[in-house]
Amino acid sequence: MVYAGELMACAIMAIVQSPQIANSTASLIFTASVLVASGFLRSLGNMLDILKWLGWATVHKYASEIIVANEFHNLTLDCPANKTCIMTNGDLYLDTFYPNAVDHIHRNFYALGGFLLSIMFITICLFYIRSWFDNFSFKKCSSSCACN
């Protein structure tokens, strides 16, 4: 996920040509992605439909599902003696908030790889387009020079 952020900052830098603006813009995009798509603040089932669809287009949905499935699968949750617990094991938590997360681990890794390759391809294309525009020069004619 770190490489996706760096590649996105490079892609933005191909457009704006300023490292500070590119880094700030990439961090804002990734922060919004974490808040919308990870499901930590609000489960994806309780979001607006447009936010659900945006969640599928972010890298954090897939990465957070891998992390949660890895941490909560086959986990036993112990409760204090005088307390009642809603969740007694991690698989119940996964079934409630991240259905089929364990079954989707391979799909999520492929999605992360696809995100990295697509961001890399977009970055290369943007720098190629930028170099083409940088090499294309606009000549101004003045009275002292002859323009071809």
Digit-coded pLDDT (tens) for 44-88: 778 888 888 888 888 888 998 999 999 999 999 888 888 888 888
CA 88 to chain centre: 32
**Pair 28, 5: CB distance under 8 Å:** no
The pLDDT value given to residue 83: 84
Mean pLDDT of 31-40: 82
pTM for this one? 0.76
Q: What is the CA radius of gyration of the chain?
A: 23
Cβ atoms < 10 Å from Cβ of 72: 20
Distance CA 44, CA 37 (A): 7
Tokens of 69: 């499935």
Digit-coded pLDDT (tens) for 113-143: 999 999 999 999 999 998 888 777 655 555 5
Closest CA to 23 of 33, 34, 36, 12: 12
The pLDDT value given to residue 110: 96
**Pair 26, 8: CB distance under 8 Å:** yes
Digit-coded pLDDT (tens) for 101-111: 999 999 999 99
